[in-house]
Structure 1
Amino acid sequence: MKQSTVYYTDFRVRGGQTLQQKLDRLVEAAGLGTLDLEGRFVAIKIHFGEPGNLAYLRPNYAKTVADAVKRHGGLPFLTDCNTLYPGRRKNALEHLAAAQENGFGPVTTGCELIIADGLRGTDDVEVPVPNAEYCPTAKIGRAVMDADVVISLNHFKGHESTGFGGALKNLGMGCGSRAGKMEQHKAGKPVVQEGLCRGCRQCAKECGSDAITYEGGKARIDQDLCKGCGRCIGRCNFDAIYAPQDNANALLCCKMAEYAAAVCHGRPNFHISLVMDVSPLCDCHADNDAPIVPDIGMFASFDPVALDRACADAVLAAEPMPGSLLGEHRANPGFGCCGDNFLDVTPGTTWRECLDHAEKIGLGVQAYTLKKV
């Protein structure tokens, strides 16, 4: 069976080392320097974090990667696409202001910041998806596609629809323009089970589309306004909101894998994941809960599928943090835990489907050899 190599280092530092130095050694050991970067535009895809959230990657890590690219002659820039839902990152001006508020700028990162799909999230390129089953083409932010090389630098964490967010989500959903994000999400629009709804209004606070109202103390979701992002599902503590299309999350995962394949196809790509501050929900939220497991380490590979699988395996093998959402669920005998650290945070999510489909369409393989640096 074909296996990919995933390189790993922990967060321990000794003898005057720094975490930035460890990250630099990791990316060099994983082969960043073997890429032909001389004079080439290098898109470093990162999530700048929704203001209020403190789990996103610090800009120091981005600078380490940008400096490594420049050392090999490349021309790096940090990039992300605008969000589908209203918030602080829905257009390029607010998105850049949010990034700066979270510490990202030319001085702190050593490179420029570019919002890949333009001012309003409409500047995209329709890209063929190799071996597609669901999305023959993908709508990708133009600046991402204009780059010669793509590097994914992502914070590995939980997610309320896809189980976790790693390299594939950073590339697939993250590089999609607003139209591209809509295409990925449109299969599953949630509904409310009135008998379980407590009328706590937390889902309405989470909704970025003003699609949730209340009648008789029960939530109602306007299907015309809803964008299908699933954030209300993750916010509800009573399992009152669900996607009636049973395979909605699985379809989302498959489409996300196809979008990631479109981003990577036909050009050099390299992937880095930091498994730290593993919050139960995405960095798109304007807050973050306690980490569900202890910090694990930094991973890098040329194969984003193997990388996600290695990170997922590391989180699955970790003990839950006491007092975290995962710890609380595991301690509650009535919760119905299944032993999967991702699904025990947000039941009904999926994550294996994304990796299975990515492997099926030829983006990478799940079998890996782990090499410690």
Structure 2
Amino acid sequence: MSANSIDTQMLDTILGKMIETVDRSKSEIFEIGEQTRSDYDLLVNELALIREKITNVIYIGDDLERRSRFARKRLAEVSHHFKDFSEEQVRQAYETAHDLQMKLSVNRQEEKQLRERRDDLERRLLGMVETIERAENLVTQITVVLTYLNSDLKQVGAALQDAKQKQEFGMQIIEAQEEERKRLSREIHDGPAQMMANVLMRSDLIERVYKEKGAEEAIAEIKSLKKNVRAALSEVRRIIYDLRPMALDDLGLIPTLRKYLSSIEEYSNGTKLSFTQVGEDSRLDAKYEVSLFRLIQESVQNAIKHAEAKEVAVKVEIRRDSITAVIKDDGKGFDPTEKKQGSFGLVGMKERVELIAGKLTVNSNPGKGTTIIIQVPLQ
């Protein structure tokens, strides 16, 4: 056995232990995040109850304050005209004033304690939000490291010039994958998962509405529930298209765009989408079909979601040596030169166009809609 093979075995052993340790740490951090999230939900419920109690205590306190003022006024009157009242009346006036003052004192103390508990819960919730976010970031970072450690970079190394390029290339791919997984996870959690949970709650409510308010109210609730189910279905279909529409591999770019735009129009709350094709409907290289579909998809989604467009027109012209896509909407428009904090939509689109040696042009003004032109030479 050569020295090189022994060194390789040692490195494999060390790397295996390292991966095992990092993976175990990832699981522990994930559990911490999930436990914190569970505790957060409990504290949110408790905070809502505390706030309700504070409102009730303030209402009772105001009433006690009014009655206490009246009782003190009565006691002062009895004391001032002591001879005009019986001993029993004097005693009763004193006891009433004293009793109300004690209740008011207890009420104020209870209000103080509830406010302190509310402030403490709000501080703890802020800390929990920070802990959850840090846990998520750590899990994402550790996943990137694990994927990188488990990846075989030999094939990548053959295509790159040096180790630095290899490392940067590998990390960029892994980070992009993890960010996409994180985004998809959030979309499913915030979209279909929340919608289906709401459907379950509303379905339980329908039975009570039927019993308490009758059939008409129950039918109205069912119609509202159908809207929620339709919205959830739309969100699921959108996520499937975001992952990768199966028709793109089977049918090609043009049929997939037709189907996608038709599906989006059905669930876009009134936005009208039109599609025009010029030139031959031929299959393109996979890299062009995927990139162009993603670019058009991103443009349409931006027009519907952010520009709040009522009409979106998509035109694709395929020539022998080039392809041009134009996406035009009548939305509220924007200033392309203005950079928004945390917004990378246009940046990502430009990078994707550059990967296929294309050009992206954005024409837009506030209140005047947006036109996006994508030009790609076919090689």
| Pairwise TM-score range, normalised by the shorter structure | under 0.3
Q: Normalising by structure 1, what TM-score? A: 0.21
Point out the structure with the larger strand share: 1
Q: What is the TM-score of this pair, normalised by structure 2?
A: 0.21
Relative contact order (C-alpha < 8 Å, sep 6+): which is higher? Answer: 1
| Bigger Cα Rg | 2
More helix by share: 2
